[in-house]
C-alpha cells in the first residue's frame, strides 16, 4: 500500500471515529466543543476550495464556446456575464456590510473594555494600568467614536433613528458619570451594557440608511428582480409536469396500474367535497389508504434504504471501497 | 454515564451491526456466488447502455442533489459501469453536477472507468459539467443540456427533491430511455410515472453490487438483508406485545422501545 492511500484511509477512519464519538459522547466525558469549531472551519475552507473548482469548470466550458463561437455561444456569454455582474454586486454589498459591522463593533469593543476594567478592579489586578488612566482612555476613545456619528442627520420622526438618539443619550449620561470620577468603576457596568445596546441599534440604523444605496438597489434587482422570479418560474413548471406525469401514471396497462389508479381516485374523492356527496365513506377510506398501506410502504422503503446506507457508510468509514469510487487518488 | 442521542442498548445494537458486517465480510471474502434475486431495473441499465451504443447519441448520468455520502458512493458504482459501457460504444457521457466536491469525485471515477477499458483518450472533462448549486437553476441547466445534446438515455441516480419530476420529464420530452433510482419515497412515485425503469430505495445500493458482482459489494447486500431480517423479527415481537397489551391492558407489558430508554 502506498503512503498516499494509507494517509487517506487513516484520515477517513479518524474522521469517522471523531464524528461518531462527538455524536454519542456526553460533554462530561470529553468536551468536543473545544475542537469542533476549528474542525468545522477546516471543512468550510475545503468547501470554499471546491467552489473554486466549480467556477473553473464553468469558465473552461463556456469560455471555450465563446472563444470559438460554437453553437449557442450567446447563452454561455450571458451566463458568464451574469456570473461576473452578480459577483461584483455581491462583493460590493459584502464590503458595504462589513464597513457597517466594523463601525458598530467599535462600540462593542469599548463595551468589553469597560467590563475588563471593572473585572480587573474587582480582582485587584496590579499588572494593568491604574483605573483612572484606563477610564480616561475609554472615555476619550468613546468620544472619538460618538463624534463620528452624524447626529444632525438623525430624523427623530423615524422609529429606528429615534431609538438611536435615545440610546446615544443614555450612553452620554453614563459617560458623563464616569468623567466625574475616573477613579471609580461604579458606572462601568452600566456603560458597558449601554454600549452593547448602542452597537446593535447603530448597526440596524446604518443598515436602514443603507437600504437606499445604489449597491443595495442593484443587489435587490439581482435577487428579487431576476433570481427569485426565475426560481419561481421553474418551480411553477412542476405543476404542469405533475399533470402530465399523472396522465401517464393513470393509464391502466396492468392490474398493478389499475390498483394505483383506483387508490388515486379514492384519495382524490376523499379529499374533495364532491366525493362526500357521492358517498360519505370516501374521507375515511382515503385516510385509511394514506395511514395504513401508504405509510407501511413508505416506512419499508425508508428502513431498507437506511440500513443499506449504514452498510455503505461502514464501507466508507473503513475504506473498503474499490478503485471505481474515487479510490485511486 | 448517559450517552447523547443514544442509550447503551442502541450502542450495543450499532456494534452488533458492525460485528455482523465484518463477520460476513470475512466469511464471504472469496465467495462471489452469493445469490441476488433478479432486479429488472438493474438489468435494464446494461440494456439501456447497449441501446445508446446503437444510436450513438449521448448518455446522461445525473447524481441529483447528492452530497458526499453513502447515496453518492452507491451511485458511483453504477456510474462507473455506465462509463465503461459508454467508453466501449464511444458514446458521450454527460454528467451534470450540483456540488463541486461531488464533481471532483465523479471526475476521478469516470476517468478511472475509461482507463480501465483502455479508452482514457475518450474521457473529456468538459462533459462533467458544474451547472449550479441552486436546486432550480440546476434543473433548468439540466433541461437545457438534455435538449441541446438530445441524450438517448438518462440515468437519474442519487438524492432528489422537488426537481425530480422536472428532470425526468425533460428526458421524456427528448424521447430518452430513463432509469431512475432514489431512496426518497416521495420522489420514487414521480420516477415511476416518468421513467422507463425505477429502482426503489435500497435497490439503488444493490445496483452497483448486482452489476459488478464483487464479493465485498455482494457481502454488503447479504449483511443488510440479515440485519433487515433481525429488524423484521423485532417488529413482529413488538407488534405481538402491543396486541397483547391492547387485549389484556392489565398485563401492561413493557414493549421493546422500553430498552431504548434504559440508562446506566
How do the domains of chain A map onto residue ranges? 1-31, 250-321+325-329
pLDDT at A36: 80
What is the complex's ipTM, to 2 decimals?
0.88
pLDDT classification of A329: cutoffs 50, 70, 90: very low
Give mean pLDDT, residues A219-235: 92
DSSP A130: P
* Contact present, A161 and A170 (Cβ < 8 Å): no
pLDDT tens-digit readout, B176-200: 999 999 999 999 989 998 999 999 9
Looking at the predicted structure, is the pLDDT value of residue A20 above 60? yes
* Cβ within 8 Å, pair B206-A57: no
Looking at the predicted structure, is the pLDDT value of residue B6 above 90? no
Looking at the predicted structure, is the pLDDT value of residue A306 above 80? yes
Range in A51-55, A281-285, B126-130 the model is least confident about:
A51-55
Looking at the complex, report in whole angstroms how far the Cα of residue B216 sits from the nearest Cα belonging to chain A.
8
Size of interface A-B (CB pairs under 8 A): 182
* Contact present, B181 and B207 (Cβ < 8 Å): yes
* Contact present, B145 and B61 (Cβ < 8 Å): no
The residue in chain B having the minimum alpha-carbon distance to the alpha carbon of residue A306 is B202
* Contact present, B48 and B195 (Cβ < 8 Å): no
Q: Which of A244, A264, A304 to mutate to test the interface with B (most CBs of B within 10 A)?
A: A304
Closest of A139, A146, A142, A198 to residue A170, by C-alpha:
A198
Looking at the predicted structure, is the pLDDT value of residue A101 above 90? yes
Looking at the predicted structure, is the pLDDT value of residue A33 above 80? no
pLDDT at A328: 46
* Cβ within 8 Å, pair B201-A304: yes
What would the DSSP string read from start to end of B156-216? EEEE--TTHHHHHHHHHHTT-EEEEEES-HHHHHHHHHH-SEEEETTHHHHHHHHHH--HH
Interchain CB contact of A273 with B (< 8 Å): no
- Distance, CA of A190 to CA of A175 (rounded, Å): 10
User: Using a CB-CB distance cutoff of 8 angstroms, which residues of chain A are in contact with residue B17?
Assistant: 310
pLDDT at B27: 83
DSSP B60: E
pLDDT tens-digit readout, A123-135: 888 888 888 899 8
Residues 6+ apart with CB under 8 A from A214: none
* Cβ within 8 Å, pair A58-B130: yes
pLDDT at B32: 65
Q: Which three three-digit cell numbers place residue B109?
A: 471515477
pLDDT at A163: 86
User: Using a CB-CB distance cutoff of 8 angstroms, which residues of chain B are in contact with residue A313?
Assistant: 69-70
pLDDT at B246: 93
* Cβ within 8 Å, pair B73-A321: yes
Nearest to B103 among A57, A307, A308 (CB): A57
pLDDT classification of B233: cutoffs 50, 70, 90: very high
* Contact present, A305 and B183 (Cβ < 8 Å): yes
User: Using a CB-CB distance cutoff of 8 angstroms, which residues of chain A are in contact with residue B2?
Assistant: 26
Q: Which of B77, B201, B207 to mutate to test the interface with A (most CBs of A within 10 A)?
A: B201
End-to-end CA distance of chain A: 13
Q: Does domain B40-212 have CATH number 3.40.50.720?
A: yes
Closest of B163, B160, B156 to residue B181, by C-alpha:
B156
pLDDT at A22: 85
Model's pTM, two decimal places? 0.83
Q: Which of B100, B181, B217 to mutate to test the interface with A (most CBs of A within 10 A)?
A: B100
Amino acid at each position: 500500500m502506498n503512503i498516499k492511500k494509507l494517509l487517506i484511509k487513516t484520515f477517513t477512519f479518524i474522521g469517522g471515529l471523531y464524528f461518531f464519538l462527538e455524536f454519542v459522547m456526553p460533554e462530561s466525558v470529553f468536551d468536543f466543543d473545544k475542537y469542533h469549531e476549528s474542525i468545522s472551519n477546516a471543512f468550510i475552507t475545503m468547501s470554499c476550495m471546491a467552489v473554486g473548482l466549480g467556477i473553473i469548470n464553468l469558465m473552461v466550458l463556456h469560455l471555450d464556446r465563446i472563444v470559438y463561437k460554437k453553437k449557442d455561444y450567446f447563452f454561455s456569454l450571458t451566463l458568464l456575464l451574469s456570473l461576473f455582474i452578480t459577483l461584483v454586486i455581491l462583493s460590493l454589498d459584502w464590503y458595504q456590510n462589513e464597513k457597517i459591522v466594523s463601525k458598530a463593533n467599535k462600540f462593542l469593543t469599548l463595551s468589553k473594555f469597560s467590563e475588563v476594567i471593572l473585572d480587573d478592579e474587582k480582582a485587584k489586578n496590579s499588572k494593568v494600568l491604574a483605573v483612572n488612566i484606563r477610564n480616561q482612555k475609554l472615555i476619550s476613545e468613546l468620544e472619538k467614536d460618538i463624534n463620528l456619528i452624524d447626529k444632525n442627520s438623525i430624523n427623530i420622526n423615524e422609529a429606528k433613528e429615534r431609538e438611536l438618539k435615545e440610546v446615544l443619550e443614555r450612553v452620554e449620561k453614563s459617560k458623563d458619570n464616569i468623567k466625574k470620577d475616573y477613579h471609580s468603576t461604579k458606572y462601568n457596568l452600566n456603560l458597558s451594557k449601554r454600549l452593547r445596546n448602542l452597537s446593535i441599534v447603530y448597526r440596524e440604523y446604518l443598515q436602514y440608511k443603507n437600504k437606499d444605496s445604489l449597491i443595495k438597489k442593484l443587489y435587490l434587482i439581482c435577487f428579487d428582480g431576476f433570481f427569485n422570479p426565475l426560481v419561481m418560474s421553474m418551480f411553477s413548471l412542476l405543476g404542469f409536469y405533475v399533470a402530465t406525469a399523472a396522465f401517464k401514471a393513470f393509464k391502466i396497462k396492468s392490474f398493478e396500474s389499475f390498483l394505483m389508479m383506483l387508490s388515486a381516485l379514492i384519495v382524490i374523492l376523499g379529499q374533495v367535497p364532491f366525493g362526500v356527496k357521492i358517498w360519505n365513506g370516501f374521507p375515511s377510506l382515503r385516510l385509511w389508504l394514506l395511514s395504513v398501506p401508504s405509510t407501511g410502504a413508505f416506512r419499508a422503503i425508508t428502513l431498507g434504504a437506511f440500513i443499506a446506507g449504514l452498510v455503505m457508510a461502514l464501507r466508507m468509514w473503513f475504506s473498503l471501497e474499490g478503485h471505481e469510487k474515487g479510490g485511486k487518488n | 454515564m448517559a450517552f447523547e442521542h443514544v442509550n447503551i442498548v442502541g450502542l450495543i445494537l450499532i456494534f452488533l451491526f458492525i460485528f455482523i458486517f465484518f463477520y460476513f465480510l470475512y466469511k464471504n471474502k472469496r465467495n462471489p456466488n452469493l445469490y441476488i434475486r433478479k432486479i429488472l431495473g438493474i438489468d435494464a441499465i446494461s440494456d439501456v447502455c447497449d441501446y445508446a451504443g446503437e444510436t450513438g447519441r449521448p448518455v446522461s448520468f445525473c447524481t441529483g442533489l447528492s452530497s458526499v455520502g453513502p447515496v453518492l458512493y452507491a451511485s458511483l458504482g453504477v456510474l462507473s459501469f455506465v462509463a465503461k459501457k459508454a467508453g466501449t460504444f464511444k458514446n458521450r457521457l454527460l454528467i451534470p453536477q450540483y456540488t463541486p466536491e461531488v464533481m471532483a469525485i465523479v471526475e476521478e471515477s469516470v476517468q478511472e472507468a475509461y482507463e480501465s477499458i483502455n479508452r482514457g483518450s475518450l474521457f473529456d472533462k468538459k462533459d462533467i459539467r458544474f451547472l449550479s448549486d441552486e436546486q432550480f437553476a440546476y434543473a433548468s441547466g439540466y433541461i437545457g443540456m438534455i435538449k441541446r445534446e438530445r441524450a438517448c438515455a438518462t440515468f437519474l441516480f442519487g438524492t432528489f427533491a422537488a426537481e425530480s419530476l422536472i428532470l425526468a420529464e425533460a428526458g421524456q420530452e427528448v424521447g430518452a430511455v430513463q432509469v431512475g433510482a432514489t431512496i426518497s419515497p416521495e420522489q420514487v412515485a414521480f420516477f415511476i410515472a416518468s421513467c422507463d425503469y425505477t429502482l426503489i430505495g435500497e435497490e439503488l445500493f444493490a445496483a452497483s453490487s448486482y452489476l459488478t458482482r464483487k464479493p465485498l459489494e455482494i457481502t454488503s447486500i447479504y449483511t443488510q438483508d440479515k440485519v433487515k431480517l433481525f429488524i423484521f423479527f423485532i417488529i413482529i415481537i413488538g407488534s405481538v406485545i402491543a396486541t397483547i397489551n391492547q387485549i389484556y391492558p392489565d398485563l401492561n407489558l413493557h414493549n421493546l422501545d422500553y430498552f431504548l430508554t434504559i440508562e446506566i
